[in-house]
């Protein structure tokens, strides 16, 4: 029998949102009738201009992509007013998280994160044998972070703002307060996967990579998977001081982004209108989820993201509600595995949300 690395013993495999194909296979529902509100993708889809670029680049599928990713770095450096050598590109920001864990952690290290946050921080840390410390609350509370920081001296602190899967955010002021209070020996990861939504909602929550670039021990992460509508293309980025990027780059395999993904991300990063349109739709539709909760006596967490988290009391069971909805072709995220009797719902198009409310109402009454 193979003796696997002992770090694997206490790792739970990441459970991704359920795909449409599963509902089609298991419940015999036609794909066009399945509503997927489980993975925080952009409900509008991909920008038609970007789709055109992806198609046009298909002819280059036999060629490896430009491994320097010059054009994408140029586009990002213009967008964020940073230098090319401040940027690392990953197959999703997920891969940048992996580079970070591998570059920094070993079995003597610990990492610190909020009680309920993006599951991959813990998985990558555990792969390296590091100890994972959670604060008591899902919110990123300064006092809780400081107490744990002084006790454990973590090598990495993860600040997920806005936070997945809860949807709340931490203000720029609070994030900077945590950063300013820790030694430069601790790497602070500011994960802004949903930042476009928070920035549109409230300027106090908007964090730009440039706000953090003066710190040698801070990295900002962003992604094309959410507001940019490119979840299937797998492109994310990290922005930090050149010295940190240089070390992380040693972990990056060659050609980690496909030719089509690279072309898509370059086109998407130059197109402002699509993100704006996505956010307008989102802001309109999320109000319906808030109103529904208020009208039906459901608690929810105020969201700074493209999803909303409904918190159930003892009258509703998140697993049961999610399963019944799944059988009806509506995929949402059950948060029971995070220790919460709650569900996370990605805000869809008007039509998708109509379908959700129709079924949800029948299921909860
Ligand atoms: N960070 C957070 C907070 C996320 O929610 C996600 C995706 N669910 C990621 C990072 C990774 O995103 P991607 O790999 O698609 O860029």
Q: How far is the CA of 116 from the centre of ligand 1 (A)?
A: 15
Beta bridge partners of 330: 35
d(CA 341, CA 58): 45
Average pLDDT over residues 284-309: 98
Using one digit for the tens of pLDDT, what is the confidence trace for 30-83? 998 899 999 999 999 999 999 999 999 999 999 999 999 999 999 999 999 999
Ligand 1 atom at minimum distance from 93 CA: 16
Span 241-250, average pLDDT: 98
Q: What is d(CA 68, CA 72) in angstroms, rounded to the nearest whole number?
A: 9
pLDDT recorded at residue 126: 97
Q: Which two tokens stand for residue 294?
A: 């208020």
Residue nearest ligand 1's atom 1 by CA: 193
Categorize the per-residue pLDDT at 219 as very low, low, confident or very high, splitting at 50, 70 and 90.
very high
- DSSP secondary structure of 255-278: T-S-HHHHHHHHHHHT-HHHHHHH
> In the prediction, which pLDDT does 335 show?
96
Concatenated DSSP letters of 21-49: HHHHHHH---GGG-EE-SS---TT-S-HH
Residues 6+ apart with CB under 8 A from 225: 41, 92, 93, 193, 231, 233, 234, 235, 236
Q: Which residue of 120, 193, 256 sits with most ligand 1 atoms within 8 Å of its CB, as the best mutation to test the pocket?
A: 193
> Is ligand 1 within 6 A of the CB of residue 42?
no
In percent, the amount of the chain with pLDDT more than 90 equals 92
Q: What is the pLDDT of residues 322-348, one digit of tens each?
A: 999 999 999 999 999 999 999 999 999
Q: How far is the CA of 227 from the centre of ligand 1 (A)?
A: 12
Distance CA(78)–CA(66), nearest Å, equals 19
The 10 Å Cβ neighbour count of residue 63 is 9
Counting from 1 in the atom list of ligand 1, the atom nearest the Cα of 94 is: 14
Share of the chain above pLDDT 70, in %: 100
Query: Which of the listed residues 72, 88, 94 should we mutate to test ligand 1's pocket, taking the one with most ligand atoms within 8 A of CB?
Result: 94
- Cβ(346) to ligand 1 under 6 A? no
User: Residue for token digits 């599928």?
Assistant: 61
pTM of the model: 0.97
CA-proximal residue: ligand 1, atom 13 (nearest): 92
Instruction: Tell me what pLDDT residue 235 has.
Output: 98
What CA–CA distance (Å, rounded) separates 222 from 298? 32
Ligand 1 and 117: CB distance under 6 A: no
Please report how many Cα atoms fall inside a 13 Å half-sphere around the Cα of residue 117, on the Cβ side: 32
pLDDT of residue 15: 80
Distance 295 CA to ligand 1 centre (A): 32
* Residue pLDDT, tens place only, 257-296: 999 999 999 999 998 899 999 999 999 999 999 999 999 9
Using CB atoms within 10 A of its CB, is residue 291 exposed (0-12), middle (13-18) or buried (19+)? exposed
What would the mean pLDDT of 2-8 be, rounded to a whole number?
A: 91
Residue pLDDT, tens place only, 355-364: 999 999 999 9
- For the stretch 145-186, pLDDT in tens is 999 999 999 999 999 999 999 999 999 999 999 999 999 999
Task: State in Å: Cα 152 to ligand 1 middle.
Answer: 26
Residue of the nearest CA to atom 4 in ligand 1?
A: 193
Helices and strands per DSSP (H, E), number in the chain: 14, 13
Beta carbons within 10 angstroms of residue 136's beta carbon: 12
Rounded CA-CA distance 144/141 in Å is 5
CA dist 43 and 41 (Å) reads 6
Reply yes or no on whether the pLDDT at 365 is more than 90.
no
Is the CB of 236 within 6 Å of ligand 1? yes
- Choosing from 16, 93, 307 the residue with most ligand 1 atoms within 8 A of its CB, the one to mutate for a pocket test is 93
pLDDT-derived band at 16, boundaries 50, 70, 90: confident
Q: What is the pLDDT of residue 196?
A: 97
**How far is residue 356's CA from residue 345's CA, in Å, rounded to a whole number?**
9
- What confidence score (pLDDT) does residue 22 get? 87
Separation CA 349–CA 352 (nearest Å): 5
Q: Is the pLDDT of residue 14 over 90?
A: no
Q: Among positive and negative, which fits the CA dihedral 319, 165, 249, 87?
A: positive
Phi, psi angles (nearest 5°) of residue 115: -60, -40
Domains of the chain listed by start with CATH number = 6-46+273-364 (3.90.1150.10), 48-269 (3.40.640.10)
Q: Compute the mean pLDDT over every residue in the chain, rounded to the nearest whole number.
A: 96
- Return the residue whose CA atom lies nearest to atom 14 of ligand 1: 92
CA distance 318 to 165: 14
Q: Average pLDDT of 243-256?
A: 98
- Residue from 17, 91, 92 whose mutation best tests the ligand 1 pocket (most atoms within 8 A of CB): 92
- What would the two tokens of residue 25 be? 């296979």
Q: Is 193 in the pocket of ligand 1 (CB under 6 A)?
A: yes
pLDDT greater than 90 at residue 10 = no
């Amino acid at each position: 029998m193979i003796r696997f690395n002992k770090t694997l013993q206490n790792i739970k495999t990441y459970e991704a949102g359920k795909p449409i194909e599963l509902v089609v296979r298991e419940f015999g529902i036609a794909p066009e009738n399945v509503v997927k509100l489980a993975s925080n993708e952009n409900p509008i889809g991909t920008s038609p201009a970007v789709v055109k670029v992806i198609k046009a680049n298909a002819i280059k599928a036999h060629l490896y992509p430009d491994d320097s990713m010059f054009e994408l770095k140029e586009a990002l450096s213009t967008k964020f007013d940073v230098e090319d050598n401040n940027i690392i590109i990953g197959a999703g920001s997920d891969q940048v998280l992996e580079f970070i864990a591998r570059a920094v952690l070993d079995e003597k290290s610990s990492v610190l994160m909020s009680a309920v946050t993006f599951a991959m921080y813990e998985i990558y840390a555990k792969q390296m044998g590091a100890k994972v410390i959670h604060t008591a609350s899902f919110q990123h509370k300064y006092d809780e972070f400081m107490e744990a920081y002084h006790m454990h001296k973590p090598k990495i602190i993860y600040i997920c703002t806005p936070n997945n899967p809860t949807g709340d955010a931490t203000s720029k002021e609070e994030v900077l307060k945590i950063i300013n209070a820790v030694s430069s020996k601790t790497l602070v990861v500011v994960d802004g996967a949903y930042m476009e939504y928070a920035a549109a909602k409230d300027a106090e929550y908007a964090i730009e990579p440039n706000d953090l670039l003066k710190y040698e021990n801070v990295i900002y992460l962003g992604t094309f998977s959410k507001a940019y509508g490119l979840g299937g293309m797998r492109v994310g980025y990290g922005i930090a001081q050149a010295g940190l990027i240089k070390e992380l780059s040693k972990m990056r395999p060659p050609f980690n982004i496909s030719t089509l993904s690279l072309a898509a991300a370059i086109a998407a990063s130059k197109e402002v209108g699509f993100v704006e349109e996505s956010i307008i739709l989102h802001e309109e539709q999320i109000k319906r989820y808030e109103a529904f909760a208020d009208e039906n006596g459901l608690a929810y967490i105020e969201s700074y993201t493209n999803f909303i988290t409904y918190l159930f009391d003892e009258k509703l069971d998140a697993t049961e509600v999610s399963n019944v909805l799944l059988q009806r072709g509506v995929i949402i995220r059950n948060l029971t595995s995070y220790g919460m009797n709650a569900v996370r719902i990605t805000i869809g198009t008007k039509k998708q949300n109509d379908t959700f409310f129709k079924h949800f109402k029948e299921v909860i009454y």
